[in-house]
Amino acid sequence: MDKTLQHPEGREAPAMDQVTFRSDTVLSDVHLLLPNARHLMTRLNIIGQPVFLSKFRILREEEQKEACSSSEEKSHSLLDEDGDLDVARKPLEMAQGRETAHPVILSQAEGAITEEEEDDITDVIKIEHTMATPLEDVGKQIWRGAFLLSDYILSSSAAFRGATVLELGAGTGLASIVVASVAKTVYCTDVGEDLLSMCRRNVHLNQHYIATSDEHGVKVRQLDWTTDDFLTDADSEFGWSEDEISDLYDNTTVIIAADVCYDNDLTDALFRTLYRISSNLRHSSTAYISIEKRLNFTLRHMDVSCETYDHFRHCLEQITELREKKTRFTVSPVSCSFPQFFQYERVNQLELWKVSVNSFQTISSSTTSQKRGENDATSKTNLDAISKS
């Protein structure tokens, strides 16, 4: 099949082989319309994408009510009375009245960001991110699910206080930074040196917000869901030490993941990783997974569907059906009625799920490695079943 498209005027147009995800459209202009955030293009990353620095102020109590009421007004059914997809458009006067950003590239190097304004204010979080990426780099954007999960962490801080937390698919690291304000240790994980470097810079930019000490804080590490092993290469700056792996298994009680289910294969890999790690933790744990139910019209169904979300729900059901002698998984939705600490559009399609992992048999530190190897071997059938059934 010829992939060359024909322009209406007779000229050849390039084929749209690569989908670009733009956060300013997908997220309802959350970056461009946020009144308490500033955006400054600071550099180009190694693949030529412009990198922005945005400041997000945590809303005060009186501002939370206003943000919640605003989100409720904007959140409505995306289907009209005939069942057709109805895409909401922002009023023209709103677009004309907003403050527009005029980004300027300051440097194409990896130099440090030298902004002094608001550096001493503890309720401001600064995040490096991109505005538009191809599918493989979506982790470099900030998605609404990260704001929702961060809201929950701030509203339920007692559940995370003093805990060792693992974030899967951390992206820019927003949720890890937020939970680090109360947690003991946070393992902030993803894949790709460029993304992990951005994430580590964000951690450094928010040391004023993170509650750290000499042995605690946020550790940015690589964790590939498609492999069963941790990266222990001593030459890698994002590799794991043996002490960190032991600490993860011995002390982790909370696992978080924000809006990471946009591809069925990756969703399968997420649940296999969640199952593998949580089954080998020394203590019972709780996982919180945020997701946005994205509606799409498909030719296969000739209707609006949410195939990626449906697959996510299927995986949730599968993990509860696994029968293990030492581990039981319980899944429940979390009501999104908690306060809104960040100003974004909390649409009805945003959901938060809680996966409780109850262990009936603890693993002693002295036999941890041997037991983990045995558990990995005996549970391989169950891991495969999550994606194949």
Q: How many CB atoms lie within 10 A of CB 217?
A: 17
Residue spans per domain, the chain: 143-359
**108: Cβ contacts below 8 Å, ≥ 6 apart:** 43, 44
pLDDT in tens, the chain (389 residues): 444 444 444 544 444 344 444 443 333 333 333 444 455 666 777 766 778 888 888 887 767 666 666 555 554 545 566 555 555 554 544 444 433 333 333 333 333 334 444 444 668 899 999 877 677 778 889 999 999 999 999 999 999 999 999 999 999 999 999 999 999 999 999 999 999 999 999 999 998 888 654 456 899 999 999 998 999 998 899 999 999 999 999 999 999 999 999 889 999 999 999 999 999 999 999 999 999 998 766 666 666 668 899 999 999 999 999 877 678 999 999 999 999 999 888 999 999 999 999 976 544 444 455 556 555 554 555 556 555 55
Q: What pLDDT was estimated at residue 35?
A: 43
Strand partners, 55: 126
Q: Which two three-digit tokens encode residue 226? A: 């498609």
**Helix, strand, coil % in the chain, rounded to nearest 5:** 35, 20, 45
Distance CA 298, CA 304 (A): 6
What's the one-letter identity of residue 130? T
pLDDT by residue (tens digit) across 248-267? 999 999 999 999 998 899 99
Residue 158 DSSP one-character state: G
Q: What pLDDT was estimated at residue 58?
A: 87
Q: How many CB atoms lie within 10 A of CB 283?
A: 14
Q: What pLDDT was estimated at residue 136?
A: 72
Element (H, E) at 273: helix 264-279
Query: How far does CA 365 lie from the centroid of its chain?
Result: 31
What's the one-letter identity of residue 127? I
Q: How many CB atoms lie within 10 A of CB 284?
A: 15
CATH number of 143-359: 3.40.50.150
- What's the whole-model pTM score? 0.76
Distance CA 312, CA 291 (A): 9
Strand partners, 21: 133
Q: How many CB atoms lie within 10 A of CB 54?
A: 20
**33: Cβ contacts below 8 Å, ≥ 6 apart:** 94, 98
